Amino acid sequence: MALHESIWGYPIIESVHVLTLCLFLGLAVMLDLRLLGVTMLRTPVSEVAGRLLPWTVAGFGIMVMTGLLLFYATPVKTYLNIFFRVKVLFLLLAGVNTAVFHLTIYRRMSEWDLDPVPPRRARLAGGLSLALWGGIVVAGRMIAYNWFDKNP
């Protein structure tokens, strides 16, 4: 309610949400690209992951908090928005992808840490992550449009 009525609150939180893309997604993309074997080939995957993941986790925390606040400002309208639903679905899928990656091939990273091009499973996780997060950004941007809104 306060957010909904404030002139500055919503834009500021939305700006933080969008600009944290650089911190969270930018660094996650860099890790995904390393997993795909297309950048930082001479850097061990463990070092890219070890040094970048704390930042992406911090960025993700900011994303979730600001995202929840934005949702909380107009919950019903957002819930009825098709793009919001697509975004949540993609978020869940991205979560599953990350969990599977960390529980399987990531555990055996010592075997492929120094490979310029990681094994297929790792590349698959990197590629899926890029595609899903790309979809999340696009869907997130589209929440601003209510082309397909269902009437409450």
Partner 1 sequence: MSVLSFFTWCENSSVGEAIRGSRWLFPVIESFHLLGLAVIGGAVLVVNLRLLGFGMERQPVPQLWRDTRPWLLGSLTIMLVSGLLLFTSEATKLYYHEAFWVKMVSLLLATAFTFTVLRKVALAEQGRVRPFWSKAVALISILLWSGVGVGGRWIGFS
What is the contact surface with partner 1 in residues (CB under 8 A)? 11, 14-15, 18-19, 21-23, 25-30, 33, 39-43, 47-48, 51-52, 55, 133-134, 137-138, 141-142, 144-145, 147
* Stretch (H or E) spanning 48: helix 45-73
Nearest CB to partner 1, comparing residues 103 and 144: 144
Torsion over CA of 112, 116, 117 and 123, rounded to 10 degrees?
70
Nearest CB to partner 1, comparing residues 79 and 145: 145
Cβ 75 to partner 1 shortest distance, Å? 22
Cβ 55 to partner 1 shortest distance, Å? 7
Compute the Cα dihedral for 50, 129, 93, 108 and give only its sign: negative
Nearest CB to partner 1, comparing residues 34 and 125: 34
**The pair of three-digit structure tokens given for residue 151, joined into one six-digit string:** 């009437």
CB 149 within 8 A of CB 80: yes
C-alpha 120/C-alpha 8 separation (Å) is: 47
Nearest CB to partner 1, comparing residues 19 and 64: 19
Nearest CB to partner 1, comparing residues 104 and 141: 141
Cβ 40 to partner 1 shortest distance, Å? 5
C-alpha 48/C-alpha 51 separation (Å) is: 6
CB 87 within 8 A of CB 143: yes
Cβ 60 to partner 1 shortest distance, Å? 13
Cβ 62 to partner 1 shortest distance, Å? 13
